């Protein structure tokens, strides 16, 4: 598996997004564990989760616990695995989402995530989504405190705009490790944030890189150029899409969600594909 960097950490070029294994439509635990083990078998070393990836109000951190347990039970060497989690976006258990960016909440949430994930520090902790009721600088201040206290090793932000990236980088003293924004063939409005991350050398982690849980399977139907390149290469449109992400910039590390072993096994093939300039022009 080729690798890329998140700050000073080397991770697999393709990561695994854990959300489909814990929210609506999730599979049974055995299949989820098999999916995580399949990712590890393929050389995946970046796993993305969040405390809000759960269904019911009494199971906050479901996905964190699932991923931590599956990694621990794999049996191989996991010393190079980086688990990235997020805080500040919550689910009350009725299918809705809300935000809480208060520093005191984020610090408590990080401590709870650390307890679920285990170890002496969270590998990468990301502020999940800006809270309009809380100054952004205050929320980032919590990340600064968590870094300085050693609760987290790396700090990132998610769903951020250009100004927020610049502010976070400033407040963190140049220690902003990653930006996780939505980006896919269907959602390209984060191009300015991707360009800034490339300029600053900050990892850009696109979420829903295949278009989201409900749309990923129809990617080739929705975007004919991806289907065309896939047919020419004898791979799936999803593989072409992930290779397209990788070609955007050396700081891009896609985290396709999966809830089946065969899905992540297919996704990792993108790491070995270099698209031609003609193909990239066709894909746009």
Where residue 213 falls among pLDDT bands split at 50, 70, 90?
confident
Give the model's pLDDT for residue 247. 98
Q: What span, in angstroms and rounded, lies between the C-alpha atoms of 153 and 159?
A: 21
Active site residues per annotation: 53
Q: For residue 214, is pLDDT > 90?
A: no
Average pLDDT of the segment spanning 138-159: 98
Cα 229 from Cα 94, distance rounded (Å): 41
Give me the residue label for tokens 């139907």: 221
Which pLDDT belongs to residue 183? Answer: 97
Q: Decide: pTM greater than 0.95.
A: yes
Residue 35: name the closest of 211, 240, 267 by CA.
267
pLDDT at 266: 97
Q: Mean of the pLDDT values across residues 101-123?
A: 98
| 241-272 pLDDT per residue, tens | 999 999 999 999 999 999 999 999 999 999 99
Spatial CB neighbours of 215, under 8 Å, sequence gap ≥ 6: 186, 222
């Amino acid at each position: 598996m080729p690798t890329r960097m998140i700050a000073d950490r080397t991770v697999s070029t393709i990561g695994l997004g854990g959300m489909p294994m814990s929210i609506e439509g999730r599979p049974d635990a055995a299949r989820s564990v098999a999916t995580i083990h399949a990712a590890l078998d393929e050389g995946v070393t970046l796993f993305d989760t969040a405390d809000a990836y759960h269904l019911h109000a009494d199971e906050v951190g479901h996905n964190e616990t699932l991923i931590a347990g599956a990694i621990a039970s794999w049996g191989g060497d996991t010393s190079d695995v980086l688990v990235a989690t997020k805080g500040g976006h919550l689910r009350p258990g009725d299918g809705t989402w809300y935000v809480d960016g208060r520093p005191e909440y984020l610090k408590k949430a990080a401590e709870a995530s650390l307890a679920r994930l285990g170890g002496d520090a969270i590998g990468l902790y990301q502020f999940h989504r800006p809270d309009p009721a809380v100054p952004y600088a205050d929320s980032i201040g919590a990340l600064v405190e968590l870094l300085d206290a050693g609760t987290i090793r790396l700090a990132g932000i998610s769903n951020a705009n250009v100004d927020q990236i610049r502010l976070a980088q400033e407040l963190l003293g140049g220690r902003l490790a990653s930006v996780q924004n939505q980006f896919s063939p269907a959602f390209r409005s984060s191009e300015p944030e991707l360009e800034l991350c490339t300029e600053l050398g900050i990892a850009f982690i696109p979420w829903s890189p295949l278009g989201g849980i409900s749309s990923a399977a129809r990617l080739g139907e929705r975007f004919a150029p991806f289907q065309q390149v896939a047919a020419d290469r004898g791979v799936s449109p999803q593989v072409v899409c992930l290779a397209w992400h990788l070609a955007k910039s050396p700081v891009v590390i896609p985290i396709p969600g999966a809830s089946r072993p065969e899905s992540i096994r297919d996704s990792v093939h993108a790491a070995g594909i270099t698209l031609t300039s003609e193909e990239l022009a066709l894909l746009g």
